[in-house]
Amino acid sequence: MLSAYGTAKGCLIEFPAAREPTVPEDSVWLDLVEPTALEEAAVEETLRIDIPTREELAEIEASSRLYQEDGAAFMTANLIRRGDNDAPESSPVTFIIKDNTLITIRYHHPQAFPVYVKRAMKPQTTAMTGWGIYISLLEAVVDRAADHLERVGVIVDETSRKTFGTGRMMGKRRPKRQGRRRDVNLEELIENIGEEGDFTSKMRESLVSIGRVVAFMTALVDQMKQTREVKENRARIRILQRDIQSLTDHATFLSGKISFLLDAVLGLISIEQNGIIKIFSVAAVVFLPPTLVASIYGMNFKLIPELQWEYGYPLAIVLMILSAFLQWLYFKRKGWL
């Protein structure tokens, strides 16, 4: 699908779609979403550039995603979004600047794009040129990444609370801990931690790729003739670089927290397994003396002195119960139970 946008009175406007793929003369942004061959050909003919196909985007190495060709700058970054099943989806998105016209090529639907379009339909204080829209679009992408990382932080905090059973009470003493709640499913917690860890790692990779694109943009802007718009773009790019760096650091922090949480949950699972084994071990030891008594009087010898006792059977029962109770009492005093 080819969506063409222009500007009017400081606002972004979308040109009506034509039956045949065409590029309006006043276009400042061409958004190609899963483009067809005809749409690619129309853009290539109008702007005289070679648009990379989906297969070419997948084959491009990370070190070769930033280049200049035919008077245009090609910049590719991995953008991430949450899919229908809340799973992270990462796909390359190519940004092309040619004669102050922005062309975007993407094969998935990051939410930053429709969010920016909706916002840009209102009067903007920034320049509504190809470069201005490009920077604004990256700002929307970074803002969306910040929202994603904030959500990951909330999920990690909630998982930590479930794992350790922690909860601060303002102005009150913290009640004595009664142990982890039985209704917490540790296996489910591991799945949640794994999903958020995978998302955070993909988000960090995305931020690194966006950072490389912004660094390439800085080099391009520095080569331009100094105008008011160029100075404004340079200032916005510097702010964008700082935001990306801070989000990258935050993603690194979340990754470390997720790793710690994963180790903690695995440790709790190990403790629970050890507790189960401990119960079986103690039970086996507690019932060992009664088993010994029952084994002695269960031997098939003809002469057993206690065999003719009137109270032999009750005495054996009492002896077995008493030996088991004494074992249990000993373990209790040792703190093994």
The reply to whether 247 falls in a domain is yes
pLDDT single digits (tens) 206-256: 888 888 888 888 888 888 777 887 888 888 889 988 999 999 898 889 888
* CB-based contacts of 41, cutoff 8 Å, min separation 6: 21
Phi first, then psi: give them for residue 104, nearest 5 degrees. Answer: -115, 135
Per DSSP bridges, beta strands 66-69 and 72-82 are: antiparallel
pLDDT at 336: 67
pLDDT at 13 over 70: yes
Query: What pLDDT does 246 receive?
Result: 92
Asked whether residue 42 falls in the same domain as residue 88, the answer is yes
Q: Check whether residue 126 and residue 194 sit in a common domain.
A: yes
Domain ranges, residue 327: 287-334
**Residue that is last in its domain, among 245, 271, 297:** 271
CATH code for the domain of 210: 3.30.460.20
Supply the pTM of this predicted model. Answer: 0.73
The reply to whether 170 falls in a domain is no
Polymer length of the chain: 337
| Together in a domain, 267 and 311 | no
Give the lowest-confidence range in 27-41, 182-196, 212-226, 267-281: 182-196
Which among 75, 70, 71 has a CA at the least distance from the CA of 57?
75
262 and 310 co-located in one domain = no
Q: Are residues 114 and 206 in the same domain?
A: yes
Give buried/exposed letters for 140-167 (b at 16+ CB in 10 A, else e).
bbbebbeebbeebbebbeebbebbeeee
In a domain, 319, yes or no: yes
For residues 60 and 200, membership in a common domain is answered with: yes
At residue 170 the predicted structure's pLDDT band, cuts being 50, 70 and 90, is: very low
* Among 78, 103, 66, CA closest to 220: 66
What pLDDT band is residue 168 in, cutting at 50, 70 and 90? very low
pLDDT of 177 reads 46
Question: How many domains does the chain divide into?
Answer: 2
Inside any domain, residue 197? yes
Contact 190, 262 (CB under 8 A): yes
pLDDT band at 166, cuts 50/70/90?
A: low
Q: Is residue 257 part of a domain?
A: yes
